[in-house]
Amino acid sequence: MLTSPLDDVHRGAHMTEFAGWSLPLRFGSELAEHTAVRQTAGLFDLSHMAQLEIRGPAAGQALDFALTGAHGAMPHGRASYSLMLEPDGGIVDDLIVYRLADAEYLVIANAANRQAVLERLTERLAQHEATVRDSTLERTLIAVQGPRSAEILAAAGLREVATGLRYYTAAPAQLDGVDVLVARTGYTGEDGFEISAPAGEASGIWAKLEQAGEPFGLVRAGLAARDTLRLEAAMPLYGHELTLNTTPWDAGLNRFVDLTKPDFVGKSALVSDDGTPHPRQRRLIGLAGSGRRAARAGYQVLTAADGEAIGEVTSGALSPTLGHPIALAYIDPGVESAPGTPLAVDIRGTHQRFTVAARPFYRRAT
Amino acid sequence: MSIPSNLFYTQEHEWVADPSSSPARVGITAFAANALGDVVFVDLPDVGAALTAGAPCGEIESTKSVSEIFSPLNGTVVEVNAEVVDAPELVNDDPYGKGWLFAVQPSQPIPSLLDAAAYAALPDVAQ
């Protein structure tokens, strides 16, 4: 089992195994942690996330071939959500690509897919002047997420990036003399930052942020809160909404696929010879219910009228912010799915009414 | 983790008041509540329902999981805690008090139950 460089700091937390890592599920109440991120801020240890460094004069072109996004054209300091596909169009992983310099990128991939992404990047970059290096175990990734995040970073000594960075950008900075990379990105639907630093500095940075954040209501938050936060923001989770059997079209991620690129792995499976996208096989939708009973992953989605099975829930919970059940589900693409359409979910034998809901379920006030 | 000595317990982490002081209230232990995380929904048996010791009679949902409630006794449900249905967090906040789930009028046979010391010695709980 892999342990975070912050493992000692997490003593007393409820730990869980996730993608081969021992990580905090919750420090106290996961609902309190969730609410803190919505109202003040939460501090997350994301050291399990894969950090892959891409370097070389052709790094941009290589990533353009290896992934679905337009990465060669990214300005320095920009972050971009992207997908890695198999040649058959199935999703290997969703990732964030940061352009750090002309010939230098950082790719953050899911912990569960670290090896799969590393192997494919190595293979796909081989035909370009670019190399990939897995620095995951030498690094830490710490996130501050929530409306008070910028104030907390400023108080910790990162005022310049806290005020200067726009959403989905990143910049190098120094925190107590340590070189870090600060990105204004996250997985919670709130403003927030993710800080990549050497693993040996993890405890010091964590303590510094915790101390700076205390007056702003910063609380430690675990994976349980992270999951309900991302679900309210309708962000997909690999292994749930995204799998090798899901295409970007199925998941509604069309805008992260740059079809103007001459070629990328998976492109030929997504479009016909004349370049028209193939029809989707299923459709990702949002569902909202009443009462308190959650529609959970694996439960069947049914038509409201006659209970005919038309799909399956991939993630679901009682939304802590909204107070009613929310879920993401795949349904047959032919079924009416405009927001407001009544459907049902088979919750352990009971047909519970749900309606198709617009995504995200929760959107922060700006 | 608190394990009151005046209550009886099951391997499935329910507590039950002394069955001789009927009707007996039933709930889940502080250990179980802590392991589940924040309880967000409880589904309780109806008043009048016949219960079989060891059989599922309700559900408790936390953010992350669904767990069955097993009846610690044979008998009939005579009361359910309406307050905990409206405020499931009472199970976490006060598992032996305001977080009680339902009350049973026990019938024979009374199954063997664990006392506080025996419950505290269960491998999961003792850890």
Q: Which numeric CATH code is attached to A254-357? A: 2.40.30.110
Q: Which of B37, B41, B92 sits opposite A318 (nearest CB)?
A: B41
Distances (CA, A) of A269 to A95, A166, A259, A263, A282: 20, 35, 12, 11, 16
Q: Chain A interface, mutation test: which of B38, B59, B66, most A Cβ atoms within 10 Å?
A: B38
Residue A28 has, within 13 A of its CA and on its CB side, a CA count of 9
* Residues in chain A within 8 Å Cβ distance of B63: 30-31, 224, 228, 317-318, 320
Cβ of A312: how many Cβ atoms within 10 Å? Answer: 16
Nearest chain B residue to A324 by CA distance is B40
In the predicted structure, residue B54 carries a pLDDT above the cut 90: yes
CA distance A351 to A300: 10
Supply A243's token pair.
């799998």
From-to residues of CATH 2.40.30.110 in chain A:
254-357
The 10s digit of each residue's pLDDT in A254-275 is 999 999 999 999 999 999 988 8
Q: How do the pLDDT tens digits run along chain A, 366 residues long?
A: 999 999 999 999 999 999 999 999 999 999 999 999 999 999 999 999 999 999 999 999 999 999 999 999 999 999 999 999 999 999 999 999 999 999 999 999 999 999 999 999 999 999 899 999 999 999 999 999 999 999 999 999 999 999 999 999 999 999 999 999 999 999 999 999 999 999 999 999 999 999 999 999 999 999 999 999 999 999 999 999 999 999 999 999 999 999 999 999 999 999 998 889 999 999 999 999 998 999 999 999 999 999 999 999 999 999 999 999 999 999 999 999 999 999 999 999 999 999 999 999 999 987
How far is the alpha carbon of B107 from chain A, nearest alpha carbon, in Å? 30
Burial of A260 from C-beta contacts in 10 A (0-12 / 13-18 / 19+): exposed
Q: Which CATH superfamily is domain A1-235 in?
A: Probable tRNA modification gtpase trme; domain 1 (3.30.1360.120)
Would the CB atoms of B61 and A293 count as touching at under 8 Å?
yes
Supply B112's token pair.
């063997």
Q: Please report which helix (H) or strand (E) contains residue A122, including its range.
A: helix A114-125
Chain B residues whose C-beta sits inside 8 Å of any chain A C-beta: 37-38, 40-41, 43, 59, 61, 63-64, 66, 88-89, 92
Question: The complex's ipTM?
Answer: 0.89
Would the CB atoms of B41 and A294 count as touching at under 8 Å?
yes
- What percent of chain B is predicted at pLDDT more than 90? 90
Q: Chain B interface, mutation test: which of A17, A18, A25, A29, most B Cβ atoms within 10 Å?
A: A29
Cβ of B63: how many Cβ atoms within 10 Å? Answer: 23
Which residue has 């050291």 as its token pair? A47
Q: Which of B37, B40, B92 sits opposite A318 (nearest CB)?
A: B40
Print the SS3 string covering A18-87.
Answer: ECCEEEEEECCCHHHHHHHHHHCEEEEECCCCEEEEEECCCHHHHHHHHCCCCCCCCCCCEEEEEEEECC
The 10s digit of each residue's pLDDT in A197-252 is 999 999 999 999 999 999 999 999 999 999 999 999 999 999 999 999 999 999 99
Cβ atoms of A289 and A353 within 8 Å: the answer is yes
Long-range contacts of A182-187 (CB under 8 A, 24+ apart): A182/A153, A182/A158, A183/A79, A183/A96, A183/A98, A184/A79, A185/A79, A185/A96, A186/A143, A186/A145, A187/A143, A187/A145, A187/A226, A187/A229, A187/A230, A187/A233, A187/A235
Tell me the DSSP string of B75-87: EEEEEE-HHHHH-
Would the CB atoms of B38 and A29 count as touching at under 8 Å?
yes
Would the CB atoms of B63 and A293 count as touching at under 8 Å?
no
* Residues in chain A within 8 Å Cβ distance of B38: 29-31
Domains of chain B as residue ranges with CATH: 20-101 (2.40.50.100)
Angle between helix A59-66 and helix A114-125 axes, rounded to 10 deg: 120
Would the CB atoms of A29 and B41 count as touching at under 8 Å?
no
Cβ atoms of A336 and A285 within 8 Å: the answer is no
Residue B114 has, within 13 A of its CA and on its CB side, a CA count of 18
Would the CB atoms of A31 and B40 count as touching at under 8 Å?
yes
Residue type, A273: D
Cβ of A127: how many Cβ atoms within 10 Å? Answer: 10
Residues in Cβ contact with B2 at an 8 Å cutoff, skipping those fewer than 6 apart: B30, B96
3-state secondary structure of A116: helix
Would the CB atoms of A317 and B88 count as touching at under 8 Å?
no
Which residue has 């959403």 as its token pair? A167
In the predicted structure, residue B127 carries a pLDDT above the cut 80: no
Would the CB atoms of B63 and A224 count as touching at under 8 Å?
yes
Cβ atoms of B39 and B97 within 8 Å: the answer is no
Nearest chain A residue to B63 by CA distance is A317
How far is the alpha carbon of B63 from chain A, nearest alpha carbon, in Å? 6
* Residues in chain A within 8 Å Cβ distance of B40: 31, 292, 294, 318
Q: Which of A25, A26, A292 sits opposite B41 (nearest CB)?
A: A292
Would the CB atoms of B37 and A348 count as touching at under 8 Å?
no
Mean residue pLDDT across chain A = 97
In the predicted structure, residue B126 carries a pLDDT above the cut 90: no
Q: Which of A25, A228, A293 sits opposite B41 (nearest CB)?
A: A293
Chain A residues whose C-beta sits inside 8 Å of any chain B C-beta: 14, 25-26, 29-31, 224, 227-228, 292-294, 296, 317-318, 320, 348
